[in-house]
Amino acid sequence: MKQDAYAIEKEGFVDTVPSTDSDNIHNIDPLIEPFIDTDELQGTIITNDEKLNRFEQKCASILSLNSNKQNETTTCSQIITRSTGIFYAFIASGLFTCSSFIVKKLGVDFFDALLIRFILQTTIITAFIFYKKNKFINGSTNLIILQIIRTILSSSSFVLFFISYRYIPLPDLTTCRYTQVVWTTILAMIIFRERISIVSIFAIILTLSGVILVAQPTFLFNNYQILSNKTNNTNYESNKSNRLLGLSLALFCALSISLSMVLNKKLILSKIPQSIIIFQFSFLNLCIVILNHIYNRFILHKYANQTMFTWQFFVAASVSLIQVFSSTIMQKAIKLEHPSIISVAQSSDIIFAIILQNLFSNEKSNGFVLIGSFLVTTSIFLVGITKFWKDKKKLSEKNKNTNTKL
């Protein structure tokens, strides 16, 4: 990572330059964290003075005699770069949602399917850390405690996500999960003392309304049918008690993601390398999936009369590796586009989940679920665009001040 950039708070967004590291890391979803940050691979250190010099050079070039031609080129470059980042985010979201949907349809235990992924991921990151000669845990006592708490929270979100998927449909789960965008905003207001805006209040109201429509509690909706089934088979998803459990787990997943993101930002600002944070997340998840396998094999005797290594398992394990590719694409998208815009693009997971659920499953989402998903997506859009607009305004003020000095 760019070491000196760790101590920089978010101060705006330059269209022609990727967003700051603190922005990037703040936006990374623990469920789809990358293997290794590409900046760490490059090993390039860019100081604050160098960033300022680059910024001044860009301003000077705009004021040069060939400004018209350069502005046209820059504008085209900005459009292509921005479109590329959003396009990458859409692809990454689609891959993650599709892979999760396929694994469930194959009937394979999620944690067994992810076993190969985390063995591979932890091995690669461990080798990378040895190569960079970093410590697996470093910093002061307070920072070590923060790392432990953050790792537990991020791994908890991972576990809660896949456990809740056993009880509720993917659209409902995805909708509840993406409420983390609003929860993160609330936590940032509390921890970083950011002012709450009217837009944020409106987004919170939309989010809560959307969650209520998705959850459809019986005291409001009586016995309204949550899912329209083509068959009369009773399963986990149509069971009210299991559905309530699944929705509760999904909301706790969203809160865990929000808390881990806030702690993630604090760790990055404290100069903790991203590779260390990813290793801690991957290693704990590897321990979880191994313990789950031991529990299934030696306590539940799940594989006593059947082998684990079926064709469904190998397909599911292969599909789960797609999430690695998805995380890499998302990391690239974050470096090309403003994090708030990426948050909006990531919410397309909800749309992908609804399409997959209603096209390839017997359970169809009713109108209330669709409206609730729309409200949550709208709240994400409001939060993301508002943040983007504020950063653009800060950039405009900086440009004016720089032009005045020149």
C-beta separation of 369 from 172 below 8 A: yes
Task: Report the DSSP pairing between strands 227-229 and 363-365.
Answer: antiparallel
The pLDDT, as a whole number, for residue 40 is: 59
Distance from C-alpha of 339 to C-alpha of 30, rounded to nearest angstrom? 15
Distance from C-alpha of 66 to C-alpha of 294, rounded to nearest angstrom? 68
Of 349, 343, 335, the closest CA to residue 381 belongs to 343
The pLDDT, as a whole number, for residue 82 is: 55
Instruction: Give the pLDDT means over successive 10-residue stretches in the chain (406 positions).
Output: 37 36 47 57 47 49 46 55 74 89 89 90 90 83 91 91 90 87 76 73 84 74 51 51 87 88 80 85 93 88 83 90 82 73 80 88 83 87 79 74 67
Look at residue 21 and tell me if it is in a domain: no
C-beta separation of 373 from 169 below 8 A: no
Look at residue 258 and tell me if it is in a domain: yes
Output Rg (C-alpha) for the chain, integer angstroms: 22
C-beta separation of 256 from 157 below 8 A: yes
Look at residue 19 and tell me if it is in a domain: no
Look at residue 180 and tell me if it is in a domain: yes
For residue 377, what are the domain limits?
3-8+28-405
Look at residue 225 and tell me if it is in a domain: yes
- Please tell me the total count of domains within the chain: 1
Look at residue 15 and tell me if it is in a domain: no
Quick one: tokens of 297? 């094999």
Look at residue 138 and tell me if it is in a domain: yes
The pLDDT, as a whole number, for residue 405 is: 62
Look at residue 18 and tell me if it is in a domain: no
Cα distances (Å, whole numbers) of residue 208 to 181, 231, 254, 345: 12, 31, 13, 21
The pLDDT, as a whole number, for residue 102 is: 92
C-beta separation of 122 from 288 below 8 A: no
C-beta separation of 282 from 46 below 8 A: no
